[in-house]
């Protein structure tokens, strides 16, 4: 019962370094999402992919890029990390498209940028 | 645009106390409403949902009723346990083209024995 798997769980970067956060789901879901969680801010949508082959910007896309590699995998890339990107990142997915369908979340990647 | 406002807390209760976490929303159309729970070090888990006016969602002793007239979806539990200590998020989906969720800022609940 893996659900949504995120790697790595923790990462420390230096300013200017790049890295890719990986996300994979095994529920055959069409839509996938990347959020960041900051204290007092709730969850904010970075990018999403409504279906394989499509990606769209969310609320806070600046400084990030995404790739929907296939139906299972949706990665988030920081090209040049900045301290303001220190956050907890969550990947989520949902199956049948409809407003009644909840999203399923991974356990998060805790990213610190020094 | 859509928005969700929930009481910010933190909320600290003794075991067996009654819990209410207020949530109000602004949305176009007829959104679906959700409560998610996040235990320490974990991701968000769906706690309950309601998809139309006057629906009551319930799970694990928690309840919330979709009140369209007051645009509210308050979370309640009659008797909290230490294991309920977590962050609770209210969220909505308005059925827009990609079914995105709009979240409140979260409410930290601590239950003391």
Nearest by CB: A99 against B41, B89, B95: B95
Contact list in A for residue B51 (CB cut-off 8 A) is 99-100
Q: What is the pLDDT of residue A99?
A: 64
Contacts of B41 in chain A (CB under 8 A): 107
The span from the CA of B19 to the CA of B55, in Å, is 20
Q: For residue range B49-69, what is the model confidence (pLDDT) as tens digits?
A: 999 999 999 999 999 999 999
Residue with tokens 């919330």: B64
| Beta-carbon separation of A42 and B89 below 8 A | yes
Q: Please, which residues have CB within 8 angstroms of residue A98's CB and are 6 or more apart in sequence?
A: B95, B99
Per-residue HEC secondary structure of chain A comes to CCCEEEECCEEEECCCCCEEEEEEECCCCCEEEEEEEECCCEEEEEEEECCCCCCEECCCCCCEEEEECCCCEEEEEECCCCHHHCEEEEEEEECCCCCCCCCEECCCEEEEEC
Residue A40 is nearest to which of B95, B100, B105, comparing CB atoms?
B105
Shortest CA distance from B94: residue in chain A:
A99
- Of the residues A54, A103, A104, A106, the best mutation for testing chain B's interface (the one with the most B CB atoms within 10 Å of its CB) is A103
3-state helix, strand, coil in chain B (%, to 5): 5, 50, 45
Cβ-based contacts of B46 with chain A (< 8 Å):
102-104
Q: Is the pLDDT confidence value at B48 over 90?
A: yes
Element (H, E) at B91: strand B86-93
pLDDT digits (tens, 9 = 90+) for A43-98: 999 999 988 889 999 989 999 999 998 999 999 999 999 999 999 999 999 886 66
């Amino acid at each position: 019962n893996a659900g949504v798997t995120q790697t790595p769980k923790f990462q420390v970067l230096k300013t200017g370094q790049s890295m890719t956060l990986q996300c994979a789901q095994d529920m055959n879901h069409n839509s996938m999402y990347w959020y960041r969680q900051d204290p007092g801010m709730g969850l904010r949508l970075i990018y999403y992919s409504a279906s394989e082959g499509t990606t769209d910007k969310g609320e806070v896309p600046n400084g990030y890029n995404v790739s929907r590699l296939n139906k299972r995998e949706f990665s988030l890339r920081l090209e040049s990390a900045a301290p303001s990107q220190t956050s907890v990142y969550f990947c989520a997915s949902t199956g049948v498209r409809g407003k009644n369908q909840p999203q399923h979340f991974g356990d998060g990647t805790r990213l610190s940028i020094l | 645009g859509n928005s969700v406002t929930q009481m910010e807390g933190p909320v600290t209760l003794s075991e067996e106390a009654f819990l209410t976490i207020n949530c109000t929303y602004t949305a176009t159309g007829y959104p679906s409403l959700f409560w998610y729970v996040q235990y320490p070090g974990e991701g968000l888990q769906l706690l309950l949902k309601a998809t139309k006016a006057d629906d009551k969602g319930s799970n694990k002793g928690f309840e919330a009723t979709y009140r369209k007239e007051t645009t509210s979806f308050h979370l309640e539990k009659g008797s909290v346990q230490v294991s309920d200590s977590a962050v609770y998020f209210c969220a909505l989906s308005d059925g827009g083209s990609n079914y995105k969720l709009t979240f409140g800022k979260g409410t930290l609940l601590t239950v003391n024995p």
